[in-house]
């Protein structure tokens, strides 16, 4: 049984993104929110996962957690089974395989991300699809995602950050969402976000997949990423939390 309409498939081909409003019910959201808070607590307790901190509004704040799927059954079930896998299966035309997962917290003052394509940071296969699961409302003030239409290939960039001339030549659309929505986007869809200028967190779970036929690279991705981040040196003014050098948050001294 098809989940997506012909119009949704046409929109996907044109823009590289789809929005599903209120796709998750309140009970499911409550479970996901509790699970995300448990993962956030791991970052202060030397728990499992990979955690990154930034300087936000003058004090250290958790910026991102990732590599937690093997350690949390509620999140593992969300990422491996049910609606998200069904949507991705229809877009890929075959079952999806989990490539990576992360929670971006963007607490008040939390940094945004310069315009980029995920494809420049995602290795091993040439096509990925990500799903944003908002845990809080994302508005323009709190640093929601902005997109322009998907490109068929990598656009001009420096270490993942798209050139300012290319950015200025495009029309960008803010995607404001509520908890319970889903935003699905292609790894070639250029996007960015700005600093959270509100007094409320703008947390979001991001889950990335590739086609099952391309292979399972999740463990290799995190092994390689840890090695790259351990050797990265971007100076004292910017924090590196991605294989793209696109994060605009400040490092904690």
Overall number of domains in the chain: 1
Backbone angles phi, psi at 121, to 5 degrees: -105, -15
Is there a domain that residue 252 lies in? no
Please indicate, yes or no, if residue 243 is contained in any of the structural domains.
Answer: no
Rounded to two decimals, the pTM is 0.95
Q: What is the pLDDT of residue 253?
A: 76
The model's confidence at residue 68, banded by pLDDT at 50, 70 and 90, is very high
Residue 134 is predicted with a pLDDT of: 98
Print the domain residue range for 171: 6-231
237 pLDDT above the threshold of 70: no
The answer to whether position 142 is within a domain reads yes
Specify whether the CB–CB gap between 245 and 160 falls below 8 A.
yes
Q: What is the mean pLDDT of residues 193-221?
A: 98
* 54-65 residue pLDDT tens: 999 999 999 999
Name the one residue in this structure whose structure tokens are 């307790």.
45
Question: What is the per-residue pLDDT across 19-53, written as a single tens digit (0 to 9) for each?
Answer: 999 999 999 999 999 999 999 999 999 899 999 99
How many other CB atoms sit within 10 Å of the CB of residue 212? 13
List pLDDT tens digits, range 121-162. 998 999 999 999 999 999 999 999 999 988 999 999 999 999
- Cβ–Cβ < 8 Å for 101, 208: yes
pLDDT at 180 over 60: yes
Mean pLDDT of 102-115: 97
CATH number at residue 213: 2.60.120.620
Q: Can you tell me which residue has the tokens 């948050």?
A: 249
Q: With respect to residue 1, please indicate whether it lies within any of the assigned structural domains.
A: no
Whether 248 maps to a domain, the answer reads: no
Do the domain assignments include residue 180?
yes
Q: What is the CA radius of gyration of the chain?
A: 17
Q: Is the pLDDT of residue 1 over 70?
A: no
């Amino acid at each position: 049984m098809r989940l997506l309409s012909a119009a949704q498939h046409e929109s996907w081909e044109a823009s590289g993104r789809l929005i599903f409003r209120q796709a998750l019910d309140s009970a499911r959201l409550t479970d996901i929110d509790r699970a995300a808070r448990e993962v956030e607590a791991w970052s202060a307790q030397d728990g499992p996962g990979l955690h990154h901190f930034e300087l936000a509004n003058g004090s250290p704040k958790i910026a991102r957690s990732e590599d937690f799927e093997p350690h949390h059954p509620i999140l593992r079930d969300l990422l491996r089974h049910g609606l998200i896998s069904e949507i991705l299966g229809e877009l890929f035309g075959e079952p999806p395989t989990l490539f990576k997962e992360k929670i971006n917290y963007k607490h008040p003052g939390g940094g945004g991300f310069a315009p980029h394509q995920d494809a420049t940071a995602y290795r091993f296969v040439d096509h990925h699809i990500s799903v944003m699961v908002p845990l809080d409302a994302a508005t323009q003030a709190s640093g929601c995602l902005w997109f322009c239409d998907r490109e068929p290939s990598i656009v001009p960039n420096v270490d993942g950050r798209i050139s300012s001339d290319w950015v200025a030549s495009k029309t960008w659309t803010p995607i404001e969402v509520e908890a319970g929505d889903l935003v699905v986007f292609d790894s070639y869809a250029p996007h960015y976000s700005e600093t959270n200028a509100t007094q409320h967190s703008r947390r979001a779970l991001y889950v990335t997949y590739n086609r099952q036929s391309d292979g399972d690279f999740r463990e290799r991705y995190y092994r390689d990423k840890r090695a790259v981040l351990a050797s990265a040196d971007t100076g004292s003014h910017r924090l590196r939390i991605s294989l793209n050098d696109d994060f605009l948050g400040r490092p904690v001294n």
